[in-house]
Every structure is written in structure tokens, then in C-alpha cells.
């Protein structure tokens, strides 16, 4: 596997602290994206963290010493205090990445200011190989062209550029074209988010399990020579395709929802991920790290033997894959249930042989 590909393997002690922390700074956003996890609206919600509360959050995150801290939204640029908070985060020693929306707020002057602050990386979304596909998904015409222009500004200012793509029915057949497009943008990482039907996204927006497996197989092959790192989110099944013959014997740890990964919502709710909106506490009142370490939901998500879905529970790949806990909850209402995106059948009830079968 290409050493730059990041399909969730880590040597991090995920029981002790999260490796990745994401803060949803606001749910305000000028776009109307079809899949929006946050169901973002034009105005911020009244219960979002104040500047002082956000400062306390940053101090808690800094104390956890995560490898990556990402500020997202909505659109974080909708916060008037964003640059002050970014400066505070940098002063606390956090390596901060920003995932803004591509709107008129994100101009060249803003990119230059982010570079001055020493931001670790900027991640933009690109959800189609052409303007028609991307703009229809994002809900605003001109967004595709603006995204390509913003990519150029980010490179000009010397900031690492990451591109995120939501993999869904609308663009699944364009991924080869998108690979070529992304390769020409000078990115350091291409992250592919396999759609979870939460927020505005619907179950019919997901690709089917066999198509998902074909895409993941293609990504595994492309990762060998890609000029950038490849990362999948909510598609841990790729680890099964890359696994050794005896996966149960693997000592490798993997990252997933609540498993080395922590999400803090705009109102301070502490969740396993943004796609798994089950609050286990709130940053206004709780010690975030203590919630991560001890809450029963987080502990269950880190225990492959706690899975309740019959296919995931029996699967020999459950320690390195375990399925998307977010998608299991979104579709079946059980965060420990089976992942409906998976085509793998650990035990064929008719032949007692391992193989692939529809969900």
C-alpha cells in the first residue's frame, strides 16, 4: 500500500485519546448542499458556542494533544471571531486545518491571512468532475469554477491543499475523471466520504454495496501510484480489501467513529463523529477527554466484540474494519448494527462459505 494512503491504520493509543478532533464552529452557511450533514442554514443557531466558550474548548482540545484538529461547519468563515480563535489555537500549539465552504467569503485575502496564521492545511469540497454535477450538488451555480480558483490561491500562498469528495449516486461514475482533475490541482490528499444518509442526505443517494466495493477496489489499486494521499471516510471496508489472509491476527489499530475520532458540534455536543449525532456530553459542562475515555457509547464503539449486527459481529475483519457505525445508525437506528454499504457476507447460510452477498 502506498505509504501516503491513509485508510485508517494507526499506532495511536485510541483508548487514551483521540487522534483526530473535529470542531463544527457553526452551522451557518450560504450554500444549500444536497447532502449536508449539518442541515446548515443561512444564520447561526442561537445555541452555538460563544467566543469565550470556544476558547475553553480550544484549551481542552490542546490538552488532548491530537495529531489533527480540523475546524469545519457549516462554514467556519461565518463566525466573526474565527481568525481570533485560529490565532488562539495556534498559540496553544494546535496544528489546525480548516474546511471552509467555497462562497464569496473565501477570497484571496482570506487565504493569505490563513497562511500568515500558519494553518496546517485547507480542505475544499469537490463533488463532480464538471460544473453541472458539482453545482447542482452544492445548490449554487458558479461554485465549481470558484473552487478551482480557490485551489489556485491556496497553492499560490503555499498552503497544503486537501480535497474532499462525497461519493454518492450523482458522481460515482465520474470518479476516474475526478482523480485526473484532483491530480492536476496539486493536492496533498484526496479524501472520499462515502455518503451517510443523515442531515439532508437520503438513503437513495447512497451507491449500492457492490458498486461501493468496486469503487474501493479501484481506490486500493490507485493508491499504489497516486501522486497524493488517498483517504476514505465511512468506508472502512477498504481495509478488508487490503487485509492479509488472516486479518484476525493483525495487531494494527484502526480509526473510526468514536474510535480515535471525536466530533464537537456547534452547540458543544460531544459526539463520536459528525455523521453519528449521538451526544455523550457537552463541552460546556463536561471534560471532553473523560467523555471520550469513559462514556459507554464511545467504549462500545471501540470494542469490535460489542457489535450487534449479525454480519459485522461474525466477520473476521471486524477488528480492522467494523463497518461504518454512522451508516448503521442512520439506516437501522443502531450504531452497533450492520453497515448497509458492505457487500461482504462473512458466512453464507446456504453453503457455509465466506463470500460476498448483498445486504
The CATH number linked to 329 is: 3.20.20.70
Q: Report the domain count for the chain.
A: 1
52 assigned to some structural domain: yes
pLDDT in tens, the chain (359 residues): 344 566 767 788 999 999 999 999 999 998 877 777 666 577 888 999 999 999 999 999 999 999 999 999 989 999 999 999 999 999 999 999 999 999 999 999 999 999 999 999 999 999 999 999 999 888 889 999 999 999 999 999 999 999 999 999 999 999 999 999 999 999 999 999 999 998 788 899 999 999 999 999 999 999 999 999 999 999 999 998 887 665 554 556 789 999 999 999 999 999 999 999 999 999 999 999 999 999 999 999 999 999 999 999 999 899 999 999 999 999 999 999 999 999 998 765 444 344 454 44
Phi, then psi, of 343 in degrees rounded to 5: -95, -5
Grid cell locating 310: 449479525
Judge contact between 349 and 281, C-beta under 8 A: no
Per-residue pLDDT at 40 = 59
Strand partners, 276: 273
Q: Which residue has cell 442554514?
A: 41
50 assigned to some structural domain: yes
Question: Under 8 Å CB-to-CB from 184, ≥6 apart: which residues?
Answer: none
Using the 8-state DSSP alphabet, how is residue 8 labeled?
A: S
User: What is Dmax (Cα atoms) for the chain?
Assistant: 63
Taking the CA atoms of residue 36, residue 37, residue 39 and residue 43 in that order, the dihedral angle to the nearest 10 degrees is -90
- d(CA 310, CA 312) in angstroms, rounded, equals 6
- d(CA 219, CA 230) in angstroms, rounded, equals 8
- d(CA 284, CA 268) in angstroms, rounded, equals 6
- Buried/exposed code over 156-186 (b: 16+ C-beta within 10 A; e: otherwise): ebebbbbbbbbbbebbbebbeebbebbeebe
4 assigned to some structural domain: no
1 assigned to some structural domain: no
Alpha carbon distance, N-terminus to C-terminus of the chain: 28
Its domain, for residue 115, covers 9-356
Judge contact between 40 and 92, C-beta under 8 A: no
- d(CA 258, CA 235) in angstroms, rounded, equals 15
**For helices 51-64 and 82-91, what crossing angle results, to 10°?**
30
Per-residue pLDDT at 189 = 97
106 assigned to some structural domain: yes
Nearest Cα residue to 297 out of 277, 317, 322, 268: 277
How many other CB atoms sit within 10 Å of the CB of residue 82?
23
Phi, then psi, of 41 in degrees rounded to 5: -120, 170
How many other CB atoms sit within 10 Å of the CB of residue 125?
22
- d(CA 237, CA 247) in angstroms, rounded, equals 13
Per-residue pLDDT at 6 = 66
Grid cell locating 281: 456530553
Q: Which residue has cell 486545518?
A: 97
- d(CA 170, CA 8) in angstroms, rounded, equals 26
Amino acid at each position: 500500500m502506498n505509504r501516503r494512503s491513509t485508510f485508517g491504520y494507526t499506532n495511536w493509543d485510541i483508548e487514551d485519546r483521540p487522534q483526530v478532533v473535529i470542531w463544527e464552529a457553526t452551522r451557518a452557511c450560504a450554500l444549500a448542499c444536497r447532502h449536508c450533514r449539518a442541515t446548515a442554514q443561512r444564520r447561526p443557531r442561537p445555541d452555538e458556542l460563544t467566543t469565550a466558550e470556544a476558547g475553553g474548548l480550544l484549551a481542552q482540545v490542546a490538552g488532548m494533544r491530537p495529531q489533527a484538529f480540523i475546524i469545519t461547519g457549516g462554514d467556519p468563515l461565518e463566525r466573526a471571531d474565527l481568525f481570533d480563535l485560529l490565532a488562539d489555537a495556534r498559540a496553544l500549539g494546535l496544528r489546525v486545518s480548516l474546511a471552509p465552504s467555497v462562497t464569496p467569503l473565501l477570497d484571496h485575502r482570506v487565504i493569505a491571512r490563513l497562511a500568515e496564521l500558519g494553518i496546517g492545511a485547507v480542505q475544499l469540497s469537490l463533488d463532480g468532475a464538471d460544473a453541472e454535477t458539482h453545482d447542482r450538488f452544492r445548490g449554487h451555480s458558479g461554485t465549481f469554477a470558484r473552487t478551482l480558483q480557490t485551489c489556485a490561491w491556496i497553492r499560490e500562498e503555499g498552503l497544503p491543499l486537501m480535497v474532499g469528495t462525497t461519493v454518492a449516486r450523482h458522481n460515482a461514475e465520474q470518479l476516474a475523471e475526478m482523480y485526473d482533475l484532483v491530480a492536476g490541482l496539486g493536492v496533498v490528499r484526496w479524501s472520499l466520504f462515502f455518503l451517510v444518509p443523515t442531515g439532508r442526505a437520503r438513503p437513495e443517494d447512497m451507491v449500492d454495496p457492490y458498486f461501493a466495493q468496486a469503487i474501493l477496489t479501484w481506490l486500493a489499486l490507485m493508491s499504489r501510484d497516486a501522486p497524493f494521499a488517498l483517504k476514505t471516510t465511512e468506508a472502512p471496508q477498504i481495509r478488508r480489501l487490503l487485509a492479509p489472509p488472516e486479518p484476525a491476527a493483525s495487531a494494527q489499530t484502526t480509526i473510526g467513529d468514536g474510535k480515535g475520532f471525536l466530533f464537537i458540534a456547534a452547540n458543544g455536543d460531544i459526539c463520536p463523529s459528525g455523521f453519528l449525532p449521538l451526544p455523550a456530553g457537552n463541552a460546556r459542562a463536561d471534560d471532553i477527554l473523560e467523555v471520550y475515555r469513559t462514556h459507554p457509547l464511545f467504549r462500545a464503539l471501540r470494542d469490535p466484540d460489542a457489535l450487534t449486527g449479525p454480519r459485522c459481529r461474525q466477520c473476521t475483519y471486524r477488528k480492522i474494519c467494523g463497518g461504518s457505525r454512522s451508516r448503521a445508525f442512520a439506516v437501522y437506528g443502531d450504531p452497533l448494527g450492520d453497515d448497509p454499504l458492505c457487500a461482504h457476507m462473512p458466512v453464507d447460510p446456504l453453503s457455509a462459505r465466506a463470500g460476498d452477498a448483498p445486504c
